[in-house]
Amino acid sequence: MAVAVFSLRRRALLTAAIALGASGAGVRCAFAAPLPGSKKTPAAPPPPRPKLIALDPGHGGQDPGALGYNGTAEKGVVIAIARELKKQLEAGGHYRVFLTRGGDEYVPLRERVARAQAAKADLFLSMHADSHPDSSVRGASVYTLSEGASDREAAALAARENHADAIVGGMHLGDKPDNVASTLVAMTQRGTVNDSRRLAETIVHTFGRNGVMLLPRSHRQAGFAVLTSPDIPAALVEMGYLSNPQDEKLLTIKQHQMNLARALRASVDAHFGAPSAIRKA
Ligand SMILES: [Zn+2]
C-alpha cells in the first residue's frame, strides 16, 4: 500500500515537472532534488567498448619461419607488418590491439591462443608469409580452421605452421592438432565458424580490391593449431611467398607493408561494419 501511495505522489510530481518544462521554467530544480527513494535519472549509455584485436605475427626467436629466396626470414617481415597494422588500427580510436609476441621471441602456438583468450580478444589474425618449392608461385591466401583440409597444399601448409611447436622444446606433433574436432563443435555452436569464414572472405575481397596479388582459390581451410579459440573469430593470412623473388622483395618494402596493413585494417573495419569500411582503403 505504501508503495502505491508513493507511486501516486511521484506521478503527481512528474506531471508537475512536465508542466513546468512545457512552460520553460523550473525543470532543472524539479529534478535536481529527487525525493528520498526515488529512482535516479538513467545515465547515458556508455560508449561502445573498443574491439580488441589480437595480431599474431608467426614464428620468432629460434624459429625463423619460412626463409626467402634471398634469405629474408618470415619472422621479421610479419612482425613489421603486424606493428604497422597495430598503428593503423589504433589510430582510428575504434580498436585496442595486442600482439601475441612483442619482439623476436619464441611463443608456442598454444600460448598464443591462450594469450588471446585471456585478453578476451574479439578477433584473432595470424600473420605469415609462405614458402614453396616452385619459386614462381606467388600471391596471398587466407585460411580458416577445418578438420579436413580443403586441399593438399592447405594441409601441407597447416603441417608446416603447426611444426612451429615442435621446433623448441622437443614436442612432437602430428600434422594436425588433436583438439580441432572438439574446437570446431564449440565454434559451430557459438557462431565462430561462420564469423571466421566471413572474416576470411572479407580479407580476400579487400586484398583483391587493393591490388594485392592472390593465389587461386584464395580462401582455404585446414587444421591450424593457432586458430583453435572457440570464442574468437580467427583467420590466418599468408601475405605472399618468400620463395618467390618478387613477393620477397615486396614483403620487405615499407610501402608494400603499409599497403598490406591498410587492406587488413579495412578488412577488420568491414568485419565489424565500421563506417570507414565503405571508403576505399
Ligand atoms: Zn608461418
- Write down the pLDDT at residue 191: 86
User: Do 280 and 104 form a contact (C-beta atoms < 8 A)?
Assistant: no
Ligand 1 mean position to 58 CA, how many Å? 5
Q: Confirm whether 172 is domain-assigned.
A: no
Q: Confirm whether 176 is domain-assigned.
A: no
Ligand 1 mean position to 65 CA, how many Å? 5
What are the pLDDT digits (tens) for 239-279?
999 999 999 999 999 999 999 999 999 999 999 996 554 44
Q: Confirm whether 166 is domain-assigned.
A: no
Ligand 1 mean position to 89 CA, how many Å? 22
Rounded CA separation 52/20 (Å): 46
- Write down the pLDDT at residue 3: 44
Ligand 1 mean position to 140 CA, how many Å? 13
- Write down the pLDDT at residue 106: 95
Q: Which domain holds residue 78?
A: 51-157+195-272
∠ Cα 139 143 147 (to 5°) = 140
Q: Confirm whether 252 is domain-assigned.
A: yes
Q: Confirm whether 227 is domain-assigned.
A: yes
Ligand 1 mean position to 60 CA, how many Å? 10
Ligand 1 mean position to 91 CA, how many Å? 27
- Write down the pLDDT at residue 128: 98
Supply the CATH number for residue 65's domain. 3.40.630.40
The grid coordinates of residue 48 equal 561502445
Ligand 1 mean position to 73 CA, how many Å? 10
Q: Confirm whether 34 is domain-assigned.
A: no
Q: How many domains does the chain have?
A: 1
**Residues of the chain scoring pLDDT < 70:** 1-40, 167-178, 274-281
User: What is the dihedral sign for C-alpha 132, 137, 140, 142?
Assistant: negative
Q: Confirm whether 21 is domain-assigned.
A: no
Q: Confirm whether 145 is domain-assigned.
A: yes
